Chain A
């Protein structure tokens, strides 16, 4: 499995590309933008974006979809299909998302938004805006923050400590780091 990250200046968001060792069908996670740099990355690696996973439908994570779909014949997966124009397929915790040779476990982590999910594959956790290095996603109300913290505790903190975290914004992290240093998680436990 090959794995690459791409930073979008437009929304200061991260997008991730998971592909096979050689040329073939790849999975793009949260295309907040689809620009020349991302296209060059995909093409240089001889990959074809056959699948897209969306952690939640906010602009910074889906804005690249329209351009992407003009270039690649792709299947999109997200938690709440009604929030996107081109209807994607619904994901949920009841079954993993199969993207060709890759199988992603889905963790439902509502709080930042009602449709927030994380995707886990081979020890790599794509957290969208639910959890980032030393922080958690923004929430509109105290209830939503409590919901988000509860989601993180139940779904994410119960994973193995060496899971690597790749958030929608900011630098990567590791579960052990967040357990030990994330002030939101330390204060509320």
Chain B
């Protein structure tokens, strides 16, 4: 269940965030809200049905948690441990994700599209049917991951590791790929199509 209630401020088209009737930019005290959310997500094992768009999360340990049907669009996520998480239907589109670890996670139907992903580690994860279209991804590892049916269309991938991955039905059309490592992966099952530039 997505709580897609529009912000109560007249003319605003953003969705209201979790436990508030306004979007993040119209919260009177965003720092206090950040703190409240930090405490909330730290003490619960399952994060479900939350809209936390535009929130700033840093230095958090969310390893082993279940994250279901949440929206963190345009969020800033830095130095967060998400190892061994189980993620279903998550929107982190247009987010800034730096120095985060998603090792050995199980991620289905997550939307990272348009995000900046830098120095992150997805090693050994199931990343199935996820949307990485338009991401700007640097210095990040997807090694030993199952990326089945995920899409990196029109993405910019620089110094990204795809070593020993399952790339079946993975789509890279129009991607700008430089210094990527596809060793031992089944690139023949992926679609690089037209417009993918491998440097």
Contacts and interface: CB of A to CB of B under 8 A. Distances in A.
- What are the nearest 6 A-B pairs in CB distance? A134-B153, A181-B134, A171-B131, A134-B133, A177-B113, A2-B1
A174 B92 CA distance: 11
Interface in A122-155: 122-124, 133-135
Contacts of A162: 13-15
Contacts of A176: 93-94, 114
B173 A134 contact: yes
Contact of B153 (A2, A5, A133): A133
Given A177-B134, A183-B195, A164 B2 contact: yes
Main secondary structure of the interface of B (DSSP, over half): loop
B171 A181 contact: no
Given A171-B131, A174-B93, A177-B93, 4 more contacts: A3-B69, A171-B151, A182-B153, A183-B154
A135 B171 contact: yes
A104 interface: no
Interface string A151-176: 00000000011101000001111101
Contacts of B131: 133-134, 170-173, 177
Interface string A108-128: 000000000000001110000
A189 interface: no
A19 B73 CA distance: 25
A171 B1 contact: no
A10 interface: no
A74 B159 CA distance: 52
Interface of A: 1-3, 5, 7, 12, 21, 122-124, 133-135, 160-162, 164, 170-174, 176-177, 180-183
A177 B14 contact: no
A2 B150 CA distance: 25
Interface of B: 1-2, 4, 13-15, 69, 73, 89, 91, 93-94, 108-111, 113-114, 129-131, 133-134, 149-151, 153-154, 169, 171, 173-174, 195
A134 B2 contact: no
Contacts of A170: 129, 131, 149, 151
A177 B114 contact: yes
B1 A183 contact: no
A170 B15 CA distance: 25
A170 B150 CA distance: 7
B73 A174 contact: yes
Contact of A172 (B13, B73, B89, B171): B89
B174 A3 contact: no
B23 to A, nearest CB: 10
A7 B148 CA distance: 13
B111 A171 contact: yes
Contacts of A12: 149, 169
A2 B48 CA distance: 12
